[in-house]
């Protein structure tokens, strides 16, 4: 059973997250042959103060 975790900054709509889960499921199924019913997708949203690039938090760059 494939498990996929997508980590991203918060702010996407429910429709975007639904489409993401569907497309990730399709891609994993197509590439691994796993049935869609066995694929689990976790979407973890982070706030900008919990995410840093090059040592600088995203929340500090606004």
- Catalytic status, residue 35: no
- Which of 1, 2, 18, 61 is the catalytic position? 2
CA angle 45-19-7, nearest 5°?
A: 20
Structure tokens given for 52: 């840093």
- In this structure, what is the dihedral angle of CA atoms 24, 25, 28, 31, given to the nearest 10 degrees? -100
Catalytic residue positions, numbered: 2
């Amino acid at each position: 059973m494939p498990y996929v975790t997508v980590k991203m900054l918060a702010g996407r709509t429910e429709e975007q997250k639904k489409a993401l889960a569907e497309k990730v499921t399709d891609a994993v199924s197509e590439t691994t042959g796993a049935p869609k019913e066995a694929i689990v997708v976790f979407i973890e949203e982070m706030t900008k103060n919990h995410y840093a690039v090059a040592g600088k938090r995203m929340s500090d760059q606004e």
